[in-house]
Structure 1
Amino acid sequence: MKTDDLIRAIAADREPAGPAPGYALALAGALGVAAAVLLFLWLVPLRPHLGEAMRSYPFMLKPVEMGILVIAAAIAVQRLARPGVRLGWTLYGVAAALAIMVASVAVELMQVPRAEWLVRLAGTHWYICVFNMVLLSLPILAALIFGLRYGAPTRPVLAGAGAGLLAGTLAASLYIAHCPDDSPLFVAAWFTLAIAIATGIGAMAGSRFLRW
């Protein structure tokens, strides 16, 4: 018997009590997002003149980039919950979002005087933004890790990292409603850092809580 066949056989025998893996992940993710929304509303106010900001090109880049990452990460987590399933095109989704970020940063650097680059990068208290996004990702990550336990992830570190990536991008998507900085340079630096931290936390959580 091949290794992959053995893994599938073991996974089939390991039928967990409770909901099916896909349903458990979806339910856990929804509960995690609901908790993050409540935390967001308690933690920070909505951005003033949000409707007006939504009509600007730099602002709209943020939900586009985060949306692509959310879709790719969600599909990746669903696949990592099952044994022997490849990530497939989901990595291209992540690469596409990063490519949009890089292109938008390049355009901004060509349009903005060099003296303003650091101002755009620092924004309004970048470290608070990073901290808040990581904080908002934690209830989502905890819920996703719980949901993954109803599946059969054979790559616990990678599954945890996928959950962290999804949690981080969902938290960043939520934080857009508050963040006053629309600079592509700011987003590429600090949104990416917050998502990377959440991904790292997820990898550590997966190593600890998703091993058989």
Structure 2
Amino acid sequence: MENIVWHPHKVSKEARSEQKSQKPCLLWFTGLSGSGKSTVANAVDEMLHEQGYHTYVLDGDNVRHRLNKDLSFSDEDRVENIRRIGEVSNLFVDSGLIVLSAFISPFAAERRMVRDMLPEGEFIEVFVNTPIEVCEQRDPKGLYQKARAGQIKNFTGIDSAYEVPENPEVVINTAELTLRECAQKVIDYLANRGLLQNAEMNAKTA
């Protein structure tokens, strides 16, 4: 971009990560409304926090209150919503944090766009694969009922598509597993990848 130059920082991502005794990454929770994305993300966040890790949760509704309040739910604005969140998530990861982002993010191309923003291995797609029938039964915000009544347009799963992830790193179904089991499955993946190798030490020094 003309007249804009990237300004390098003297404190590197590696230095920030080392200071926190952790390996940063982005856990990207995707799934239908009511699938349990935010609930599981917050449970994982709490477990990591208790172990002494430095984390932050980005939630779809919360972000639309401020940063993305100018965006609608059209397909075009959904793409822009995810692009902005991807950039914010990338900055947080660059600061050395373990970031948990919970967004429907219905389109594969946009999830791939965010994956490509980060170095190899730092984007971890968590597909909350809860059947739409279960999500609709829960309907915690009454959105499915409104969508069925035609009061909400472009609602994912009803009149707007959700493209199922082809190769997510983690798959969980909140209709089959308890909340703790879902969160533990994510934690186990991080541990097996070597991203939580200092968990025991962090728990003792937190």
Alignment TM class, shorter chain as reference: under 0.3
- Larger relative helix fraction: 1
Point out the structure with max Rg over C-alpha: 1
Compute the TM-score of the two structures, normalised by the length of structure 2: 0.27
Compute the TM-score of the two structures, normalised by the length of structure 1: 0.26
- Larger relative strand fraction: 2
